Amino acid sequence: METALSFLTGVLRYVLPVLAVIILFTCIISLFRNRPRLHKLAQLVDQNNGSIIDIDRWETSIGKSKSNDIVLPMPNVSRFHAVIAKKRKEWVITDTFSKTGIKLNDRSVHGSAVIEDGDIITIGSIPLKFLCAEAVSASSKTQMRNEASELKQNTGNVAYAVLVDVKTHRPIYLRKKDVLIGRGQNSDIQINLDTISSEHARIHLTSRGWALSDLNSHNGTKLNGRFITQPQLIFDEDTITFGDRVFVFYEK
């Protein structure tokens, strides 16, 4: 009996450290595999000199003080001039009680205003072009919905849901409850772009509603500006990005 216990103790003395290393290695792999991707959310392009400023935070402060995320050391820029932030499904700029104010497309901003891709934000005397393909206002989403609905009625298309290309406003109707999106010939929705994988993503109807999954694509899939690593429920007017192509999802 004592011999057996001694043998077992000797075996465990070597086996347990090996198991601990294997478990640790597995945890590290899982951590790196599921960690969120780091990426720029938007850009500001100085219209005076063409310089580009990346926005990589959901809330970005702008001003003359070095405490800001974006520092603009100009006399007519206040120490804490403005904040650009993602608020739910929209991007918003807020004047933080600056002396010279903010202009959005040559119109003064009082308090806060929704900003979209291509808008010109003037801070002091610096015109900055806001670039973010996923920045779509509620009014623009309503317009795209109306256009897609009108086209659907005119053509007699039958669909469970629709994706509208933000760039072209072209609607793509989901005629199945399980749809494969990708560059490959077998895709239900084929997007012939280099940034799209052969089998990029899947949209399917579940008992809880519509869900979006990334199929280990090379450039990833984003839901409302965030990369997804697991299936996520999607709702009306959500923005979905495959590679660098942005769509708005409409349930009806």
Confidence band of 150 (pLDDT split at 50, 70, 90): confident
All CATH 2.60.200.20 domain ranges of the chain, comma separated, are 42-131, 138-251
What are the φ and ψ backbone dihedral angles of 143, each rounded to 5 degrees?
-60, -45
99-137 pLDDT, tens digit each = 999 999 999 999 999 999 999 999 999 999 999 999 999
Nearest to 183 by CA among 242, 120, 108, 134: 242
Percent of the chain residues topping a pLDDT of 90:
76
Nearest CA among 102, 107, 101, 61 for reference residue 84: 61
Q: What is the pLDDT of residue 89?
A: 87
Q: How far apart are CA 242 and CA 246, in angstroms?
A: 7
Residue with tokens 């205003």: 113
pLDDT at 5: 56
For 8-53, how does the pLDDT look when each residue is reduced to its tens digit (9 = 90+)? Answer: 566 556 655 666 666 755 654 444 444 444 568 999 999 999 999 9
pLDDT tens, residue by residue, 151-199: 767 666 678 999 999 999 999 999 999 999 999 999 999 999 999 999 9
**3-class secondary structure, 26:** helix
- Whether domain 42-131 has CATH 3.40.50.740: the reply is no
**CATH architecture of the domain with residue range 138-251:** Sandwich (2.60)
